[in-house]
Chains A and B, each alone.
Chain A
Amino acid sequence: MAQQDITKHRYTNGKPNLRRFHQARWDEPIIFELSCEGQRGILVPEVEVGIRDEIGDVLATLPENMRRKQLPKLPELSQPQVLRHYVRLSQENLGADLNVEIGQGTCTMKYSPKINDQLASHPKLAELHPLQDEETVQGILEIMYRFEQMLKEISGMDRFSLQPAAGSAAIYANVSIIRAYHESRGEAGQRDEFITTIFSHPSNAACAQTAGFKVITLYPDEDGYPDLDALKAAVSERTAGLLITNPEDTGIFNPRIEEFVRVVHDAGGLCVYDQANANGILGITRAREAGFDLCHFNLHKTFSSPHGCGGPGAGASGVTEELARFLPVPLVEFGGERYYLDYDRPDSVGKLRPFYGYVPVVLRAYAWVMSLGAEGLREVAEIAVLNNNYLLNKMLEIPGVSAPYAKGKRRIEQVRYSWEELAQETGVHSEELGIRAADFGIHYWTSHHPFVVPEPCTLEPTESFSKDDLDEYVAIMEHVANEARTNPELVKTAPHNSTIHTIDHSPLDDPSQWAMTWRAYRRKVGREKGWHSRGKIAPQRTSYCVKR
């Protein structure tokens, strides 16, 4: 008797059946509403009489101006209540550990091995104090030192700082280093322009502007490649540098990258390679070979550290020997016998983060590289590119979707797709398709600015997802696109199986409603309206706790 295929029910005509997903809905209040006076997770025992007599009132040793006038307004809950609360919230979610997370293109949502989290939370690291004597932290200094050697090998650069806390912080550091370089040559005031391309990650333009530079953005040429003639028209004696992502956010590799670097060098500028996402080129190309002077990696993208919902991450900033003296302090050095932090660097652009930077993130990335080795890193890139081009081919079989620019060419690690044709035909827009997909347990977000590609979505499958995962993803996309034709209202009113409905994005589009700082909030919302002002707590909330 032939063996029964136990997976048979999951397929129809060779295609995966769609998952009948429904998100958990707990109607869970916010934690402050759950608070009930007197409830505790842990009851800390009173100090024994003998000790109290010896020590006296510990709080009295604190300076008067450091003591709180009022107790902090913390919620009061028991341990199981706290556990239930957060597990419930985690279920009302479609996070990286739940779905085929390839819809967050440019974010490189690869799998973050759990063992690396265990290493990072091991007491040997977790209980270190940043003010400990160097002699007692030789282990972690060694890991930081060795990880820098690995990044040097991967990029071809000569020195790295592990201080920046994110990709944008690393770009800001690199921009600061370039300013210091031009200052050292007496050209600081003159060189006040940075050049970038419109499909470079927008953090590049933002960081240069934040640092006080003017930003010149190049539009692509007719074929969608970065426009060399536009670059030639943009460079001058005012050029401080070039900030460029490659492959760009469209997944297109710049075939003239060396010429770009040469044109900027000829004008006296320096070149920075944004390698936040280097997933498609690990072990294949290096920033240095293309002539770049600086680069940066996001350890929470390419090197698998978790994104952690916006942090902490780490952006490693790498430079040539000539620029090493400007790197942020401290650098980790090895004196032959012991490792130490070098703060004595007079030309440094200064300090970016307190102490060492984000050490647990570095440890996770180090563990990830050690588990793969050099050949493994190259294999990561190869599989990521293979996955992406497989997905590209399958996606383009769906009527109504296209991959604008560089027609007929393969892409590196991601693709910015356009649903324009489908939207024209059905009136259903990309964002609505992405939200409807959530009813089947996956999702995508459209794309970040600039809003050049109409009806976009950017998919980046990385190396972590199997052919089955990709097939399931495409099957859902195909189904949703088909629904847009047959039942557009169903798609437009999605999600139907999720915890919450759609949210209003419009305030994000209105700078008058933004408050990036506390001072801005006070200015815009007003002193009296701000509930934090004068130590007042939020307006009266409904309490879920029955008063006894």
Chain B
Amino acid sequence: MRMVEKRLGLIVNPVAGIGGRVGLKGSDGAEIQKRALELGAVPQSLNRAIQALERIEAVDGLEVITYPGEMGEDAARPCGFQPTVIGSIKPGETTPEDTMNAAREMRRLNVKLLLFAGGDGTARDIYSAVGEGLPVLGIPAGVKIHSAVFGTNPLNAGDLAALYLQGKASSLREAEVMDIDEEAFRQGIVSAKLYGYLKVPFQRRLLQGLKTPSSPREQAAMAAIAADVVSKMEDGWLYIIGPGTTTRAITSRLGLDKTLIGVDVVAEGKLITADVTESQLLRLLEGRKAKIVVTPIGGQGCIFGRGNQQISPKVIREVGRDNIIVVSTTGKIHSLRGQPLWVDTGDREVDEMLSGHVRVVTGYNEQIVYRVSW
């Protein structure tokens, strides 16, 4: 008998991705799921979960804890696992509550990692159930993948999970949970919201040999960025600090709290207003010089228009292109694989003004010149 040394929690959202192939732009809600099935959609998430689990099979001493049937058991068994099955479901009629209950139960059972197959909606459900209470990793299986909590494909998610379970990738980072309003999206309007952060395993590029030391860890890199931005702050200016963990490092250096998923305004080293709205920003800007500090969303590179809509086209115009400070760790830039940063403010003129080449602060006295498109 194998010694059980670590527990893996597995949740499959059986309806994730069902709307994609039939052009429904998402799978949220029972009505849409029914329509998708009528249109001939075939569930994707089970197969994708199996692809990832096959990469984890070789991990010694692993106990898989999962929900019955289509919510995980059906993926674990074909991969050779003898999972501990908990909870109960109504087959064919699973709900977000099932996902949330499963996540809570797995946290209680102290799993080392919660692996889930789904999309942004599933990530949101898990976030609202357990927050940053345990390490989580997504197998991309949904239509909408705007969150940064997913592996780039099921195989990579499986590899990363295996490395984490074996203790070979031990660090965690906070990754964005994003979602867009599906109803608006079906009408052609993108309205993305940042819901919060999940703790996900971080694969430092440990597979690079090291002739010289590699780039510093994410945390150290963020501290260096913060040191750069803070050292160049001037009295008499307002600093509009966008959401994110990289920008949070800046307020931390000033000794201030940060609204992680909101926009805060700082001046003379003090917090002026936390979690501002667009109209509050416009009022604050009257007769004041200001700079905007933003960071791209991990893995997709959006700098304006996703999760920071408070910094509206009007606010951007007021502040001016030259007063925008984009900050990012080099790791986040390299993960874009050469794809440009992008903006989608909803105002074409502003998008055009922002596109071209931008200087991105990547460390203390370090910048990268990078393309921005719209």
Contacts and interface: CB of A to CB of B under 8 A. Distances in A.
A216 interface: yes
A262 to B, nearest CB: 18
A52 to B, nearest CB: 53
B153 to A, nearest CB: 8
A213 B210 CA distance: 26
A511 B217 contact: yes
A209 B331 CA distance: 19
A380 to B, nearest CB: 24
B220 A511 contact: yes
Interface stretch (B61-69, B245-253, B295-303, B365-373): B365-373
A215 B364 CA distance: 9
Interface stretch (A170-178, A355-363, A424-432, A518-526): A424-432
B206 interface: yes
A202 interface: yes
Given A215-B366, A219-B338, A450-B330, A445 B209 contact: yes
A233 B217 contact: no
Interface in A171-218: 198, 202, 205, 209, 213-218
A179 to B, nearest CB: 15
A43 interface: no
Contacts of A510: 216-217, 220
Given A217-B366, A219-B371, A234-B369, A446 B338 contact: no
B212 A448 contact: yes
A269 to B, nearest CB: 15
A449 B215 contact: yes
Nearest to A103: B209
Most buried by B among A214, A227, A509: A509
Nearest to A425: B155
Contacts of A427: 55, 155, 158-159
Contacts of A129: none
B357 interface: yes
A505 B206 contact: yes
A454 B208 CA distance: 9
A508 interface: yes
A198 B333 CA distance: 12
A514 B369 contact: no
Nearest to B220: A511
A451 B208 contact: yes
B205 interface: yes
A207 B86 CA distance: 58
A127 interface: no
B55 to A, nearest CB: 6
B281 to A, nearest CB: 28
A508 B220 CA distance: 13
Contact of A217 (B153, B205, B357, B367): B367
Nearest to A221: B371
Contacts, number: 116
B205 A451 contact: yes
A446 B55 contact: no
Most buried by A among B207, B359, B365: B207
Contact of A220 (B204, B338, B356): B338
Contacts of B55: 427
B365 A230 contact: no
B170 to A, nearest CB: 8
B287 interface: no
Given A233-B357, A451-B205, A512-B220, A217 B368 contact: yes
A456 interface: yes
A222 B338 contact: yes
Contacts of B357: 229-230, 233-234
Interface string A425-460: 001011110100000000001111111101110000
A509 B204 contact: yes
Nearest to B212: A448
B338 A216 contact: no
A451 B213 CA distance: 11
Contact of A452 (B159, B209, B334, B367): B334
Contact of A215 (B159, B209, B365): B365
B3 interface: no
A489 interface: yes
Nearest to A107: B211
Contacts of B159: 427
B214 interface: yes
A454 B369 CA distance: 21
B369 A429 contact: no
Contacts of B369: 216-219, 227, 230-231, 233-234
Given A217-B366, A234-B369, A514 B213 contact: yes
A141 to B, nearest CB: 35
A222 B330 CA distance: 18
Interface string B133-166: 0000000000000000000010110110000000
Nearest to B223: A511
Contacts of A456: 208
Nearest to B357: A233
B58 interface: yes
A506 interface: yes
Contacts of A449: 208, 212, 214-215
A431 B204 CA distance: 13
A508 B366 contact: no
Most buried by A among B206, B208, B330: B208
B209 A431 contact: yes
Contacts of B212: 202, 448-449
Nearest to B367: A216
A447 B217 contact: no
Nearest to A217: B368
Given A213-B365, A489-B58, A219 B370 contact: yes
A214 B367 contact: yes
A60 to B, nearest CB: 48
B368 to A, nearest CB: 5
Contacts of A205: 366
A447 B214 contact: no
Contacts of B214: 449, 451, 505, 508-509
A446 B366 contact: no
Nearest to B152: A424
B137 to A, nearest CB: 16
A233 B362 CA distance: 17
Contact of A424 (B155, B333, B367): B155
A202 B366 CA distance: 13
B94 to A, nearest CB: 31
A446 B371 contact: no
Given A217-B369, A509-B216, A429 B58 contact: no
Interface in A43-64: none
A428 to B, nearest CB: 10
B359 A234 contact: yes
Nearest to A514: B213
A519 to B, nearest CB: 19
11 contacts: A198-B368, A202-B212, A215-B367, A230-B369, A231-B369, A233-B369, A429-B207, A448-B210, A505-B210, A509-B213, A510-B217
Given A213-B365, A231-B369, A445-B210, 11 more contacts: A202-B212, A214-B366, A216-B368, A233-B357, A234-B369, A424-B153, A424-B155, A429-B207, A446-B207, A450-B334, A505-B214
Interface of B: 55, 58, 153, 155-156, 158-159, 204-217, 220, 330-331, 333-334, 337-338, 356-357, 359, 362, 365-371
Identify the 7 closest CB pairs spanning chains A and B, nearest first.
A233-B357, A446-B209, A429-B207, A445-B209, A214-B365, A230-B369, A508-B213
Interface of A: 104, 107, 198, 202, 205, 209, 213-220, 222, 227, 229-231, 233-234, 424, 427, 429-432, 434, 445-452, 454-456, 489, 505-506, 508-512, 514
